[in-house]
Amino acid sequence: MLELAVLIPQWNRERRGGQGPVPNQFVRVFGPIYLLVLAALWISALPDYFGARDGFTSDGTQVGSLLYASVCFVVAAILVIATSIGARRTLRSTSGPAAHL
């Protein structure tokens, strides 16, 4: 949640027309790839999670909170999408015809 404390003021500054953060291609590419890999790993672990007894899988691994992991994943996805949209808008506004005048 500390990320939100940094991102919200930046988004507000950008919305008011101030100079926002410089678009970062690494974040735009790495963020979605990371989330896709994470989703694939979590989906592959769901059978063990649902087959767990008393909070432990058949091989003795303790399960975590599915609700907590899901909320974290959704928040991360929202932040990646917002970053991609914000970077796209920033790139569009700095590369438009008026930017070359």
**pLDDT tens-digit profile of 63-88?**
999 999 999 999 999 988 887 776 55
Backbone angles phi, psi at 61, to 5 degrees: -80, 135
CB half-sphere exposure, 38, CA atoms < 13 A: 13
Taking CA atoms, 64 is separated from 38, 52, 101, in Å, by 15, 11, 56
More confidently predicted of 87 and 37 = 37
CA 24, 26, 30: angle at the middle one, nearest 5? 130
Residues of the chain with pLDDT > 70: what percent?
71
**Residue 72's pLDDT is what?**
93
For the chain, first and last CA: distance in Å? 41
What is the model's pTM? 0.61
Q: Indicate the Cα dihedral angle 77, 63, 50, 31, nearest 10°.
A: 20
Summarize the confidence of residues 44-56 as an average pLDDT.
94
